[in-house]
Structure 1
Amino acid sequence: MAAFDPGSFRDPAGRVVRQGDRIFRVITPEKAEETKAVLDAPFFRRRAGASIVQTWVPSDHDRKSVTSAIPGEFPLVIEHERLEVISYPFEWPFSLLKRAAELHLEIHLEALEEGFDLSDSSAYNVQFVGTRPLFIDVLSFRRYKAGSYWSGYKQFCEEFLAPLLLTAYRGVPFNEWYRGNLSGLDLVSLAKLLPARARFSLQAQMHVFMHARLMRRIKSHDGGLAAKQGQLPLASLKGILRGMLSYVRSLRPRGLETTYWKDYEFNNSYLPEDAERKRTAVRAFVENAKPALLVDLGCNSGDFSELSIAAGAKSTVGVDFDQGALEAAVSRADEQRLPILPIYQDLTNPSSSQGWAASERGAFVERVQPDAVIALAVFHHLAIGKNIPFSAAIKWMVDLAPKGLLEFVPKSDPMVQGMLAHRGDMFLHYTEEKFRQELARVATITSEAQSSSSGRRIFTYER
């Protein structure tokens, strides 16, 4: 049954429609001919399937099947390649948000060369396949009109540039700030947060400080690049976009060099034989499960995500809250061309349904539905570090995927001893036997084995 995607209502030119596992976009009469021209444009054909989502016109039978199930008049229907994972800008590490910004600007410049423009500059127009950015909003392309300004300028500054600058200048991760306001970071507030030295940057002056002053003066959320009167020559528009692209490319994150978990793969309490036990267990689990999509909870630098790919997983989503570890995982995926997408999540507060009617942006567990999950050295951080109820933590992990590999870390382990050192042991029910009982209550335990000399134990389950 075809149905509108709840997050696609803002575009008056069309809507995204889901029909089973297929993704369609229905287009209004006013936009149909222009969209056909976009699909035939050389820049679009060059990039389709590589950096623009693969798109085609379906058969008349499929078109009628879609349009007959939804209200409205839509003379043109196009179909997109289905992406296995949908992620959001507030979940991306710095390098991926930067990569998405660069792609947006590069595509805009290339489209202008062939007589097309972009109507907006939303960060949600980009998705990732592994660490490769993919532009997905075909309807944001339109024919260029002589003298046009960059209509998505303010949006680009708020959804791309401002979060990057917060981390580049202040070393403050943007993720939670961004999640708190789905439209990005307010430029007036950012101008107050940036250090004095940022004022010596011509680009920061133009795109943040002067922009913020303009917004305060007009007291509106429609602050643009310049006044509405007059026209902007095409060469000037291209120059502005190239300048922004150069500025974005120059940005580097601060404060990620020495994060606690970044080098955990190499600096931990495991003996060499313990590390090999764990790798053997992961390899055997993945070879048996053969997941199309695997989620690696607490992925650190992506060591076990890489191992999972080698063992037969087609792709993985690596989840962590440590920014340095996520950047290391991105580098690993890039260097070895691995289908790994590292994203930011606090497992005690994962991305929830947000936006209009709490349905515009789906929750993490709605968008990421893996065939298997691995959670190594994660459970004690939830149960002891964050006081998540024992049964609830296990059930959440089991609900995430039909098959999984979970590691239990006992109180005798040095890591748990360190966590208990300054708070006392009030976790009387934190035992291996209790873990086994709770896991058996919601799933079938298919195997278990010791994974370290300190008593860590790995369990595999099936729902």
Structure 2
Amino acid sequence: MRLIRLKNFNLDDRGCIFEFDGRIFRGIYEHRKDLILEILNGGLLEELVKRGLFVPTRVSDLKLDDYALVLEHERVDPIIYPYEWTFSMLKSAALMVLDIFEVAKKYGFYPLDCHAYNVGFKGGKPVFLDLGSFFKTNAKEDDCLLSNFIRNFSRSYYFPLFLWSRGIVDLVRFNFYRGFYHSYREYLLLREGLSSGFRIDEALSRLMFKGLKEIALFIANLGYDESPIGDFNVKKGYAPLISGLKILFKHSGLNLVCLKGLREEIENLKVNFKTRWEDYYGPAPKLTPRFSRILSLVKDLCRDAETAISFGANACFFENALLDMTHIKRVICQDADFNALDAGFNRYGHRSDGKEIFFACYDFLKPLLPITRVKSPYKRFKSDLVIALALTHHLILREGCSMDFILKEFRKYTNKFAFIEFMPLGLWSPGSEVRVPPWYTRDNFRNSFCKYFDFLLEEQLEENRILFIGKVK
């Protein structure tokens, strides 16, 4: 037996994660065995799994040197990383973590290590993945642990949700890419309209009149911000006030009031800005003859395909129909327009037929690869069938990408088949003049297509839609 240790995801003192034959195992160290068994047998894990909040987990018969206990977790695949989530995915993950907190608290635990990289999506719902995140509470440390949970939760979910709701999307996604947590200082900069060089105690005079939630966030995050802007030195006159607030929140239960306020605000947060493609299908999309023909071709030509990835999925109407009307069991919807993809998540994310639909918001022509803690999208999202409908003309004529480059990228995501449309009239709409460069031709696209796929079929579906179907060489 050859176990692969997932080195980049072993950051706690409870044990280590291993992969074998597509299965996920967790080895538990001897000094943490009793704690983990209490989580397993004391009712906590059972209730979390029953409520769909934690990935199903069992004690394995597997024996490993250096580990007193081995667990097996149900695999969640594919993993969609937080910087690839939509707003509603992040929001649902935040509310799920608060639900976990309420359950864990009943059994004497807090989910301290609650950052978003410990969350996966299954069946359109977030699910927690890390058993090592639960810490046992006690009377002596309870308030300190609770403050730690508020800090980690706010920096993982509330701050990025607040920024995103105000249109600061790129910063949120970059912060998720570079690490687990978001900056309290950036949150204050936007919320309070402070100058970039403000001192943290300057904000306190404003926060004192903003309610218990804001004061609790201030106390929990004081001294833990990673931002290089400014500092956290506190003016001498403020020190007694801050000390008094720490004592008050430590012994009064006001931190729990803060969590209630956080839940209420998160439930009400919305995105209040439009994106280019979010209304692409309109309020009542219908299955066109073109879509019906493509679905028929998938059934006829891709009988041994079970999974698909669709690029430029917009609000995912076609992808949902692909699951409804063909044998495909899983589809991954990709789009760089976060509002469009978010509409798809909200409309089609929850299925009850056993088939799965996933949502990944990123620019597939510029995937973020250098970070060592994550796997590339090529590995995570590779499927039996790659689909790109009404997309290549934007990439070629608007983004300036070559046909070869685009088709080479599509090839990296498929094991078997490719369904890719070419728009011979380019960025054209009925009634307008056709303007395309002389090299932008059907023949040139076909030649590029055949470099990466064995040609199966070429069919004109509409005036400006030619479908190319190929099989992996």
The TM-score range, normalised by the shorter chain, is 0.7 to 0.9
How far did residue 267 of structure 1 move? 9.2
How far did residue 413 of structure 1 move? 5.3
2:348 is equivalent to residue 348 of structure 1:
no
Give unmatched runs, 5+ long, in structure 2.
195-205, 226-230, 235-241
Corresponding residue for 1:439? 449
Instruction: Note closer, same or farther for the CA distance 1:134–1:209 as it changes in structure 2 (3 Å cut).
Output: same
2:471 is equivalent to residue 462 of structure 1:
yes
Corresponding residue for 2:165? 168
Aligned partner of 1:126 among 90, 102, 119: 119
3-state SS in 2 of match to 1:281: helix
2: distance between equivalents of 1:209 and 1:114? Answer: 28
Q: What is the letter of the counterpart of residue 269 of structure 2?
A: L
Say if 1:90 and 1:174, in contact at 8 Å, map to a contact too: no
3-state SS in 1 of match to 2:279: coil
Say if 1:90 and 1:176, in contact at 8 Å, map to a contact too: yes
Instruction: Note closer, same or farther for the CA distance 1:381–1:413 as it changes in structure 2 (3 Å cut).
Output: closer
3-state SS in 1 of match to 2:272: coil
2:55 is equivalent to residue 57 of structure 1:
no
2:76 is equivalent to residue 79 of structure 1:
no
Q: What is the letter of the counterpart of residue 11 of structure 2?
A: R
Instruction: Note closer, same or farther for the CA distance 1:203–1:321 as it changes in structure 2 (3 Å cut).
Output: farther
Say if 1:279 and 1:304, in contact at 8 Å, map to a contact too: no
Say if 1:170 and 1:194, in contact at 8 Å, map to a contact too: no
Any residues of structure 2 matched to 1:6-45 within 5 Å, and which? 6-45=7-46
Corresponding residue for 1:449? 459
3-state SS in 2 of match to 1:48: helix
How far did residue 247 of structure 1 move? 2.5
2:430 is equivalent to residue 430 of structure 1:
no
Aligned partner of 2:385 among 372, 382, 403: 372
How far did residue 283 of structure 1 move? 4.0
2: distance between equivalents of 1:246 and 1:330? Answer: 22
Q: What is the letter of the counterpart of residue 115 of structure 1?
A: G
User: What number of residue pairs does the alignment pair up?
Assistant: 436
Instruction: Note closer, same or farther for the CA distance 1:110–1:242 as it changes in structure 2 (3 Å cut).
Output: farther
Say if 1:317 and 1:342, in contact at 8 Å, map to a contact too: yes
How far did residue 19 of structure 1 move? 0.9
Corresponding residue for 1:305? 319
Instruction: Note closer, same or farther for the CA distance 1:209–1:138 as it changes in structure 2 (3 Å cut).
Output: closer
Greater CA deviation, 94-103 or 401-410? Answer: 401-410
Corresponding residue for 1:293? 307
How far did residue 326 of structure 1 move? 1.3
2: distance between equivalents of 1:179 and 1:417? Answer: 44
Instruction: Note closer, same or farther for the CA distance 1:290–1:97 as it changes in structure 2 (3 Å cut).
Output: farther
Say if 1:177 and 1:185, in contact at 8 Å, map to a contact too: no
Say if 2:397 and 2:426, in contact at 8 Å, map to a contact too: no
2: distance between equivalents of 1:95 and 1:201? Answer: 26
Aligned partner of 1:247 among 239, 252, 265: 265
Greater CA deviation, 315-324 or 336-345? Answer: 336-345
Any residues of structure 2 matched to 1:324-403 within 5 Å, and which? 324-334=339-349, 337=352, 339-354=356-371, 358=372, 360-402=373-415, 403=417
1: distance between equivalents of 2:434 and 2:245? Answer: 60
Cα deviation, 1:182-217, whole Å, max 9, x if unaligned, reads 223211123213364997853773366666665542
2:323 is equivalent to residue 323 of structure 1:
no
Give unmatched runs, 5+ long, in structure 1.
none
2: distance between equivalents of 1:120 and 1:413? Answer: 48
Any residues of structure 2 matched to 1:178-327 within 5 Å, and which? 178-194=175-191, 196=193, 202=211, 205-206=214-215, 216-217=231-232, 232=250, 235-255=253-273, 258-266=274-282, 275-286=288-299, 288-289=302-303, 291-310=305-324, 311-327=326-342
How far did residue 3 of structure 1 move? 1.4
Instruction: Note closer, same or farther for the CA distance 1:136–1:212 as it changes in structure 2 (3 Å cut).
Output: closer
Task: Give the fraction of aligned pairs with identical amino acids, expressed as a percent.
Answer: 23
Q: What is the letter of the counterpart of residue 382 of structure 2?
A: Q
How far did residue 305 of structure 1 move? 1.1
How far did residue 152 of structure 1 move? 3.2
User: Superposition RMSD on alpha carbons, in Å?
Assistant: 3.3
2: distance between equivalents of 1:367 and 1:377? Answer: 24
Aligned partner of 2:152 among 133, 148, 155: 155
3-state SS in 1 of match to 2:8: coil
Using the size of structure 1 for normalisation, the TM-score is 0.84
Greater CA deviation, 430-439 or 199-208? Answer: 199-208
Greater CA deviation, 147-156 or 374-383? Answer: 147-156
Cα deviation, 1:114-165, whole Å, max 9, x if unaligned, reads 1222232211111101421111101112322224222233222222111100
Say if 1:171 and 1:254, in contact at 8 Å, map to a contact too: no
Instruction: Note closer, same or farther for the CA distance 1:174–1:342 as it changes in structure 2 (3 Å cut).
Output: farther
Say if 1:293 and 1:313, in contact at 8 Å, map to a contact too: yes
Say if 2:212 and 2:254, in contact at 8 Å, map to a contact too: no
2:86 is equivalent to residue 89 of structure 1:
no
Cα deviation, 1:364-415, whole Å, max 9, x if unaligned, reads 2222222212111122222222222221110110121121211111135515
2: distance between equivalents of 1:227 and 1:30? Answer: 36
3-state SS in 1 of match to 2:383: coil
Say if 1:292 and 1:313, in contact at 8 Å, map to a contact too: yes
Cα deviation, 1:306-358, whole Å, max 9, x if unaligned, reads 1111112212211111122112101221466573222211122223241xxx2
Q: What is the letter of the counterpart of residue 159 of structure 1?
A: S
Greater CA deviation, 345-354 or 202-211? Answer: 202-211
2: distance between equivalents of 1:335 and 1:3? Answer: 33
Using the size of structure 2 for normalisation, the TM-score is 0.82
Instruction: Note closer, same or farther for the CA distance 1:162–1:412 as it changes in structure 2 (3 Å cut).
Output: closer
Corresponding residue for 2:198? none
Instruction: Note closer, same or farther for the CA distance 1:267–1:299 as it changes in structure 2 (3 Å cut).
Output: same
